[in-house]
Chains A and B, each alone.
Chain A
Amino acid sequence: MGEISSINWPAGDFTRVPYRLYTDADVFEREMERIFQGSTWAYVGLESELAETWDYLTTQIGNRSVVVTRDDKGELHAFANRCAHRGVKVCRQQRGNSRFFICPYHQWSYDAEGRLRGVPFIKGVGGKGGMPDDFSQDDNALPRLKVAARNGVIFASFSEDVEDLEDYLGETNLQYFDRVFDGRGLKVLGYSRQLIPGNWKLMFENIKDPYHASLLHVFLVTFGLFRADQESRVAMDDTGRHALLISRKGEQKVSASISDIKNLKEDLVLADPRLLDPVKEFPDDATVVMQTIWPNLIVQQQSNTLALRQIRPRNAGSFELHWTFFGYEDDSDEMQTRRLRQANLMSSAGFVSADDSEVIKMAQDGVRQYADDAGLLLLDGRGTKDTPHMVTEVALRAFYKHYRKVMGL
């Protein structure tokens, strides 16, 4: 790995973030090693996607492809998606059902736990060739990941030493995780994938940044779905790596306190109001909870759209954002249709989310050209603790506090 020497934090704290963190290939490599292959739990899928014996899916942790499977005892497994022989992906489908994974190159086969079960010509052909006597199939299993599932959501880790998932999430983040994943069966409504030309951290930060949500997202502000003057708060775990933005819906009106918002369209009305017809479905009063779970997951509850946004970094300058939209098995048809209509706000063509993919590209264009400079995170002071409002960049500062420690930068 290259030496990282030119990272300069000009303020000595977390209020100035060097742009080079978004552009440098060596920083990216260290992130893959220390964060995504380190002591973290990465989201990999839902149990409902692996409902049957021998169901599998392929996903990504950082820039590495991983296979997740369910065996005939109902156990979940995850292993590296690369043949022990020549490194070819042993599974090329997104999802499916298969007892074995056969490498296309020389047909080495692996089972649902990633154990090597078959090597053609292992004893040679007609007494010629074959593997040496000391070749062991057991020694050539695919590297296994640690797996944990909670209320239908599956996480995996390359690290053996990672703490329990519940401790990893911390009390408050666990409580809000369980608010959406409350044990009811989950029903996948479908997927959406975007390749965003920006650094992966820009996406993670975007969901820790309520400042932009109340300004950039004119649609949200116009229809009172997210506003700076609403009752809201930012809550984190002790480390600052996870965060929650929790907010309650307001009105479509101009108030003195938000007159700074230049783009508010006070007179905009929906031609078909069915597009936004939110109903209360959780016990508390929050209408929006956006949760970032370090390092690769965003859990979104905006009105009645529920989605898991998985961040799949490709290189310093691009990542895939992989959306899984879901509801509950006990949803009525009406509720499912409501979720599908409200999904118009989200993902690549979303009335709200398209703002984000566009602005992330613009941010990357800027930091790439001025990589020696540093950004500013001073809204609401210099602190890194929870706040009872949204006019703050506290969750970004807390994120960089944790990031610096893990990265040793």
Chain B
Amino acid sequence: MTFERWLVLQKLYNDYASSLDDGPLSDWPDFFTEKCLYLIQPRDNYDAGLPMAVVRCESRGMLQDRVNAVQETIMFEPRYLRHHITNIEADDASSDEFQVRANYSVIEVLNDDLPRILSAGRYLDTVVLENGLLRFKEKRVIYDSVLVPNSLIYPL
């Protein structure tokens, strides 16, 4: 991976994390192409080739539907998340579509509890250059922490 690509990706993933951590959540679908695939999958399903994902969005519209559900319909305790994304690696095969893998961990803080790791795992992404902007065409969130502490409300 060239240094330039690494820098550009650092910026993309930093923006992604900041957007999810500090909002507004309505910006989240803009990180994706119109037709896209966003999956949150436990590691054991991924390893076994089982298709079930706890979150599955196949378009920016479905991402928007999840934003609406979080904002309008799901009942949950207030919480704050902090995404930490490291070890970003990408291929250099092409200049406008490339594969990226990165580690992530997300700290969750609830009102009456100590901070805890909500989820830890890796991103397996396809990033494309679209109208001068980098967007996710595919983002698979594979979590090693197979046992979810209660609920996953916000995106990873």
Interface residues of A (CB under 8 A from B): 94, 188-197, 216, 218-219, 222, 263, 265, 268, 270-272, 274-275, 320, 325, 336, 340-341, 343-344, 347-351, 354-355, 357-359, 361-362
Q: What's the Cα separation between A274 and B58 when bound, in Å?
A: 9
CB within 8 A of B150: which of A191, A196, A344, A351? A196
Q: Is the CB of B74 within 8 A of A341?
A: no
Tell me if B148 and A189 are in contact (CB < 8 A): no
A188-B50, A272-B58, A325-B52 given; A361·B73 CB < 8 A: no
Instruction: Type the 1/0 row for B129-156, where 1 means its CB is closer than 8 Å to any CB of A.
Output: 0000000000000000011111111000
**Contact status B52-A354, CB under 8 Å:** no
Q: Determine the chain A residues whose CB is within 8 A of the CB of B62 once the complex forms.
A: 271-272, 274-275, 344
**In the complex, what residues of B have CB within 8 A of residue A340's CB?**
51-53, 56
Nearest-Cβ distance from residue A344 to partner chain B, whole angstroms? 6
Contacts A189-B52, A190-B52 hold; do A348 and B72 have CB atoms under 8 A apart? no
Picked from A190, A194, A272, the residue with its CB within 8 Å of the CB of B65 is A272
Whole-angstrom distance between the Cβ of A305 and the nearest chain B Cβ: 10
Q: Do the beta carbons of B65 and A275 come within 8 Å of each other?
A: yes
Check B58 against A189 for contact (C-beta < 8 Å).
Answer: no
Query: How far apart are B56's CB and chain A's nearest CB, in angstroms?
Result: 6
Interface string of B43-59 (1 = CB under 8 A from A): 01100101111111111
Question: A216 to chain B: which residues have CB within 8 Å?
Answer: 75
Residue from the set A192, A195, A320, A358 with the largest chain B CB neighbour count within 10 Å: A192
Contact call B58/A348, Cβ cutoff below 8 A? no
User: A359 contacts which of B48, B54, B75 (Cβ < 8 Å)?
Assistant: B75
9 nearest CB pairs, A to B: A190-B52, A272-B61, A271-B61, A190-B50, A349-B152, A190-B45, A218-B73, A348-B148, A271-B64
Q: How far is the CA of A204 from the CA of B148 in the complex (A)?
A: 19
Q: Is B121 an interface residue (CB 8 A)?
A: no
A193, A268, A274: the one contacting B148 at CB < 8 Å is: A193
Chain B nearest CB from A48 CB (Å) reads: 12
Q: Let me know if A354 and B153 touch, CB within 8 A.
A: yes
Identify A219's interface contact among B41, B50, B69, B146, CB under 8 A: B69
Alpha-carbon distance A13/B45, docked complex (angstroms): 45
| Bound Cα distance from A362 to B75, whole angstroms | 11
Q: List 29 A-B contacts (CB under 8 A).
A: A94-B44, A190-B41, A190-B45, A191-B42, A191-B44, A191-B45, A193-B148, A194-B147, A194-B149, A263-B73, A268-B68, A271-B68, A272-B61, A272-B65, A274-B62, A275-B62, A275-B65, A343-B54, A344-B57, A347-B54, A348-B54, A349-B54, A350-B54, A354-B152, A355-B76, A357-B151, A358-B76, A358-B77, A358-B151
Do B52 and A192 have beta carbons less than 8 Å apart? yes
Give B95-133 interface residues, CB cut-off 8 Å to A: none
- Decide if A194 touches B75 in the complex (CB within 8 Å): no
Taking the closest CB of chain B, its distance from the CB of A107, in whole angstroms, is 27
User: Which of chain B's residues 1-57 have a Cβ closer than 8 Å to chain A?
Assistant: 40-42, 44-45, 48, 50-57
Chain A residues near B72 (CB, 8 Å)? 218, 265, 268
> Is B66 on the interface with A (CB-CB < 8 A)?
yes
Q: Measured between C-beta atoms, what is the minimum distance from B4 to chain A in Å?
A: 35
Q: How far is the CB of A215 from chain B (nearest CB, A)?
A: 10
B79 to A: closest C-beta gap in Å: 10
Q: Enumerate chain B residues within 8 angstroms of A349, measured Cβ to Cβ.
A: 40, 54-55, 151-153
**Which A residues touch B148, using CB under 8 A?**
192-195, 348
Chain A residues near B55: list those with CB within 8 A: 344, 349
What residues on B are CB-neighbors of A272 within 8 Å?
A: 58-59, 61-62, 64-65
**Of B69, B76, B151, which is within 8 A of A194 by CB?**
B151
Report if A192-B58 is in contact (Cβ < 8 Å); known contacts: A219-B74, A348-B148, A349-B153: no
